[in-house]
Amino acid sequence: MGKEITSRAQDYSQWYNDLIIKGSLADYSAVRGCMVIKPYGFALWENMRDVLDRKFKDTGHQNAYFPLFVPKSLFEAEEKNAEGFAKECAVVTHYRLIADPDQKGKLKVDPDAKLEEELIVRPTSEAIIWNTYKGWIQSYRDLPILVNQWANVVRWEMRTRLFLRTAEFLWQEGHTAHATAEEAVTETKLMLDVYADFVENWMALPVIKGVKSPNERFAGAEDTYCIEALMQDGKALQAGTSHFLGQNFAKAFDVKFSDRENKLDYVWATSWGVSTRLIGALVMAHSDDDGLILPPKIAPTQVVIVPIYKGEEQKALIDEKVTAILRELKALGISVKYDDSDNARPGWKFAEYEMKGVPVRMAVGARDLENQVVEIARRDKKEKTTVPIEGVALYIKELLADIQQYMYDKAKAFRDEHITPADSWDEFMNILDNKGGFVAAHWDGTAETEDKIKELSKATIRCIPLNNPLETGTCILTGKPSTQRVLFARAY
């Protein structure tokens, strides 16, 4: 059928790249580590973005836009944050090009146009935003500030992968300011819930909500909450984070407010973000060796209709019937594409839409019309069935809901089967090496042990789940006492 995909068994990593490229989600670019998001991939991102944006607004947030560049002096103000991102910063040093006297038609950087202060291309926007909030906040009446930004950010990663880790990526970053620590923590948890709701109920991907160990915290945060998902190869993927920043940025940028008693205090902060990385998670969690499998609730095209005919007369009959079906589907809010292009055979189209993960395919042939039926194929289970044309729109509406649920249930069953307790180092390593997934194990709570476990096993603490049951035990590495199991995994 033209486009060959490497199988998961053969090379999981290549399978993933094949899906992204051949499924038309993205393309490599001429810029190291940066990708082009193609129209099909961007339509998927738009659907995800629109759902999230609605949820942000429904929880009282407003969008705004802050500069792409962060002057170095602001960037370095919050020291832990600066230290955390320093080694992956793209830096603008000049503001002009001039003709290169040595090479006709070429340009060179104008040495006379050096900036007095270098500008960092934002890897995250806490610094520029808190420097701005300083001018917006005087009193408790100015709080809370509940702002979100949809933006591009740049982190100069050495090893990049399409969607999962690119030098430039698209994301949203919420940055809120509060009068009390309690209110900020509530906000942090609220946004974690918003993310979990989105990933589970729209992306059909079950997540574990938890809090990061100190080693894995966002640079500059007091606490990092996260949602962790599991991929088909048994590796974990952090799907979203929500940070309680304490007063760290308020102190770094001297942002104080007077409370109801007219006492001055530093403002409390949160930040939270998800990115185009989610598309990588979506692809890795659900797809198969024939291509993408997209959840109906965010698929750019939910239904594709392919006509099967010989000659113009049959085509005209099919067109007429399909026109009515299209109208019914659209009336139900279902996004549908009628692919009657004559430059490919039906079999090629079937493979193409399978590759692209369109949830439902309808084939309409001349014989089918005589029998008043159409053939419906669902992408997730690869099952075909013949359905009466009468009532087919409602049938599809229910089928889409069923596919959404099936995808979630399947991913959840896989995830649940892959949370394995380990009570010794050997058991721990055995699970990581042979079964994969999350390992629930005791840890003595120190950063040193966490580092050592990572070094020895390449596994990290993904999170300490919220409402984690307390249970006495001993650390799998040091044997020291522990009060609860935490979730380890190898991760993306």
Q: How far is CA 421 from CA 228, 306, 450, 486, in A?
A: 17, 49, 17, 10
144 preceded by cis ω (within 30°)?
A: yes
Nearer to its own copies, 83 or 289 (CB): 83
Which one of 56-64, 179-187, 466-474, 477-485 is the stretch in contact with its own copies (CB under 8 A)? 56-64
Q: Interaction with its own copies in 254-283: which residues (CB under 8 A)?
A: none
Number of residues that bind its own copies (CB under 8 A): 67
Site membership for its own copies, residue 179 (CB under 8 A):
no
Instruction: Give residue 467's region: left, alpha or beta (phi > 0; psi -120 to 50).
Output: left
Nearer to its own copies, 118 or 265 (CB): 118
Helix axes 12-22, 277-286, angle to 10 degrees: 110
**Distance of closest approach, residue 24 Cβ to its own copies, in angstroms:** 10
Q: Interaction with its own copies in 352-381: which residues (CB under 8 A)?
A: none
**Minimal CA–CA distance to 325: which of 397, 401, 402?**
397
**Distance of closest approach, residue 97 Cβ to its own copies, in angstroms:** 4
Q: How many angstroms separate the CA atoms of 474 and 441, rounded?
A: 9
Q: Interaction with its own copies in 152-171: which residues (CB under 8 A)?
A: 152, 154, 156, 168, 170
**Distance of closest approach, residue 357 Cβ to its own copies, in angstroms:** 17
Site membership for its own copies, residue 34 (CB under 8 A):
yes
Q: How far is CA 52 from CA 39, 57, 225, in A?
A: 20, 9, 18
Residues 6+ apart with CB under 8 A from 101: none
Phi and psi angles of residue 32, each rounded to the nearest 5 degrees, phi first: -45, 120
Nearer to its own copies, 37 or 403 (CB): 37
Is the C-alpha dihedral spanning 139, 140, 146, 152 positive or negative? positive
Nearer to its own copies, 132 or 404 (CB): 132
Q: Interaction with its own copies in 73-92: which residues (CB under 8 A)?
A: 74-76, 79, 82-83, 86-92
Site membership for its own copies, residue 138 (CB under 8 A):
no
**Distance of closest approach, residue 129 Cβ to its own copies, in angstroms:** 9
Which one of 28-36, 185-193, 206-214, 287-295 is the stretch in contact with its own copies (CB under 8 A)? 28-36
Beta bridge mates, 36:
27
Q: Interaction with its own copies in 180-239: which residues (CB under 8 A)?
A: none
Q: CA-based angle 126:184:137, to the nearest 5?
A: 60
Q: How many angstroms separate the CA atoms of 183 and 343, rounded?
A: 59
Q: How many angstroms separate the CA atoms of 74 and 386, rounded?
A: 64
Interface with its own copies (CB under 8 A):
27, 29-31, 34-39, 41-43, 45-46, 62-72, 74-76, 79, 82-83, 86-99, 105-107, 109, 118-121, 128, 131-132, 135, 141, 147, 151-152, 154, 156, 168, 170, 343
